[in-house]
Structure formats: C-alpha cells, structure tokens
Amino acid sequence: MNYISIQNIDSLEKWVKQALKIKKKPLKNKKLGKNKTLGMLFFNSSLRTRLSTQKAALNLGMNVMVMNFTTEGWTLEFEDGAVMNSGSSEHIKEAAAVVSQYCDIIAIRAFAGLIDKEKDNAEIVLSGFLKHATVPIVNMESATGHPLQSLADAITMAEHKTKHKPKVVLSWAPHPKALPQAVANSFVEMMQLQDAEFVITHPEGYELNSEITKDSKIEYDQNKAFENADFIYTKNWSNYNEYGKITNTDSNWTVTAEKMKLTNNAKFMHCLPVRRNVIVTDEVLDSENSIVIEQANNRTYAAQVVLQKILKSSP
Ligand code: CP
C-alpha cells in the first residue's frame, strides 16, 4: 500500500475516526513498528511534515532515518536511457532500489519546480520512487498534492464542525513568492469526499487544474464566498494557467477581521507556514477562531493513521 494521494483513502470518514482514536491513545500501537524503519527523503524544506511524520513513526515504535536529499545526496537522474555525462551523479533506478534495502517505508517530499507544467504534473520524483522502490511510498508533498496535510485538515474540521453540512471556503490570498498548487489541490480533493457546501474563491485567472476541481463551485467574489461560512481555509498558489507566475498581488484578498465578520463565526485554517499580514492579518491569526496550531498538531495523527495502515498491510 502506498499513500500518494487523497484517492488512496477508501473511506475518509473511517480514516478520520481512526485518527481521532489514535489521538486519544497515540502510543497504543507502539509495538507495531518495532524493527521497522521509515526513511524520510527531503528535496525541499519542512518543519511540520518532518517533525510530525517522525513523531508518528516514533509513536508506532519505528526507527526513523532522515535525509535532506538536495544538500546531502547525489544529484539524481530520472530519465530512462539518459547519458549521464553532465550534472547528475546517480540514477533513480539505483537510488530507489538501494534506499529500499535500508527502509521498510520511504516518505518523500519533492515540490513542483513551477517552470514546466507537464514535468510537474508527471511527478518525476515521486513516480521515479514508485517505479523503482520495492517498499511502500508516502507522499510528504509532491508537485501536485499534499495528502498528509489534507487528511490533517479533515481531522481538524471533524473536531470543530458544529453541523453535519458546514460551509467550507478555500480562499486564495496573495503571497510574494510563487507557490505550488499542491496544498490547494489536495484540499479540494479531500473536500470532494465530504458532505459540505464547498466553495473555492480566487481572482479570475487563478483557476486550479480543472481535472482536480471538477464541478466544485468557484466564486470570484471573495466577500460573497465568505458569507455564512463555517470554515475559512486560506492558501496562496501561483497561477496554474500562466504556469508558476504571480499575476496578482492584490492585498484586498488578505483575510482580515472585517472579512471574517461576513462568516458564521468561521474557524480560520491554514496549513502553515503563513506570512502574517500578507495572507492573513495578525488579528485573525491570533483570534480564538484560528485553529492553525491544532491543525498542525493533527499532522501527527494523520501521518500515524497512514503509517499504521501501511504497517498492517505489509508482510
Ligand atoms: N504544512 C506543511 O507541510 O508544513 P511544512 O512545509 O513546514 O512541512
């Protein structure tokens, strides 16, 4: 079993329930991972994903090896048949096969380059490991998805929702750097598995991949989208159509206390890290409606439910 995308979840409701059970007794399955090793390979920076996934593995009694691949590993070649007479020192074929001998599960973080849409959509790094590794693979944020984050988001919403069918708004907000669409993509996919009134709001032109958003509602008027919302989930992403470009920096899209007043006393969510007073004002982030710290805490239980399922399904 791999955990590559939200589509790998057979029942979101069941997984969320299991995660909440794990949260109550995180050390209950301490023996499950005995003598098993999680290898965590980072091609990009991380705080939450690194520490929460490591914590989850430790809660299950696993050993953990972490490698910052970009700074510590050999530069990898992913193309079949490549003549490796320039930058790359090692082919994914050997690298993935070798790491598979040291680890029982390999978790990988490899962001979008945001230069070549086709290449990013092909998930070169993740696909390379999936093809050549011989052990289960976990996606710790790839070019197009961050399914550990959105599972944690689902857990957090389950804890905070006060009605069966809440209104949930995914709102774009400005950011000075070009960011991938991965978090937003997985959030959309996760919301499509929920019974909720789900609305995506962003400036015109900032549409996400339509193969992911499918028939999810898009509202270009942020104020209108916020009306009566129960959850505001804010995230920046760079332009998907004009791939990887920043075509809008309008600070009118920053989430403010005034905008939050349009909602049904909504909870404020963000995956973190967040740029204060660019994405969201201090007032909102520091308010009692902000649940971003609890959301980050739930990253551990999201990772733990995933690792637990993989361990149980492995020989
Ligand atoms: N939300 C999230 O993935 O955080 P990190 O990038 O710090 O891991």
Look up the ipTM and state it. 0.99
- Beta bridge partners, 77, equal 91
Position 153 scores a pLDDT of 98
Q: What is the pTM of this model?
A: 0.97
**Banded pLDDT at 315 (limits 50, 70, 90):** confident
**Banded pLDDT at 174 (limits 50, 70, 90):** very high
**Banded pLDDT at 75 (limits 50, 70, 90):** very high
Q: Which two tokens stand for residue 52?
A: 């929460």
Residue 186, ligand 1, Cβ within 6 A: no
Q: Which whole number is the average pLDDT over 182-200? A: 97
148 annotated as ligand-binding: yes
Residue 47, ligand 1, Cβ within 6 A: yes
* Other CB atoms within 10 Å distance of the CB of residue 49: 23
147 annotated as ligand-binding: yes
Q: Does residue 243 surpass a pLDDT of 80?
A: yes
- Beta bridge partners, 63, equal 37
Position 112 scores a pLDDT of 97
Q: Which whole number is the average pLDDT over 73-79? A: 94
* Other CB atoms within 10 Å distance of the CB of residue 308: 20
Q: Which whole number is the average pLDDT over 261-280? A: 98
% of the chain residues with pLDDT over 70: 100
Least confident of 73-77, 210-214, 258-262: 73-77
Distance of CA 193 to the CA centre of its chain: 16
**Residue 169 DSSP SS3:** strand
pLDDT per residue as tens digits for the range 83-112: 999 999 999 999 999 999 999 999 999 999
Q: Which whole number is the average pLDDT over 44-48? A: 97
Position 172 scores a pLDDT of 98
Ligand 1 centroid distance, CA of 81 (Å):
34
Q: Does residue 14 surpass a pLDDT of 80?
A: yes
**Banded pLDDT at 314 (limits 50, 70, 90):** confident
276 annotated as ligand-binding: no
- Average pLDDT score, the chain: 97
Give the position, in ligand 1's atom list, of the atom nearest the Cα of 49: 8
Domains of the chain: 6-146+297-313 (3.40.50.1370), 148-294 (3.40.50.1370)
Q: Which whole number is the average pLDDT over 262-290? A: 98
Residue 274, ligand 1, Cβ within 6 A: no
Ligand 1 centroid distance, CA of 87 (Å):
29
Q: Do residues 127 and 79 touch, judged by C-beta distance below 8 A?
A: no
